[in-house]
Amino acid sequence: MLTIQNISLRLLFLTIATLLIINISVVSDTWAKEEHMNKYGDMLEDDMINPFEGDPEAIAAGYEKFNSRCSYCHGMRGIGAKGPPLTRGYYKKSGGTNMQLYSTIVNGLLVNGKPTQMGAFGRTIEGDDIWRIIAYLRQEYKDRKAAGSEFKYGVYP
pTM: 0.71
Q: Which residue has the higher pLDDT, 154 or 23?
A: 154
Q: Average pLDDT for residues 70-89, to the nearest whole number?
A: 92
Q: What is the pLDDT of residues 35-79, one digit of tens each?
A: 444 444 455 567 889 999 999 999 999 999 999 999 999 999 999
**Residue 150: what residue type?**
E
Could you say which DSSP state residue 93 is in?
T
pLDDT value at position 47?
84
Q: What is the pLDDT of residues 93-127, one digit of tens each?
A: 888 899 999 999 999 999 999 999 999 999 999 99
The model's confidence at residue 12, banded by pLDDT at 50, 70 and 90, is low
Instruction: Please list the alpha-helical segments (H only) found in the chain.
Output: 4-29, 56-69, 71-74, 98-107, 127-146
Burial of 155 (0-12, 13-18, 19+ CB in 10 A): middle
Among residues 29, 45, 61, 39, the alpha carbon closest in space to that of 134 is found at: 61
Among residues 68, 72, 53, 70, the alpha carbon closest in space to that of 136 is found at: 53
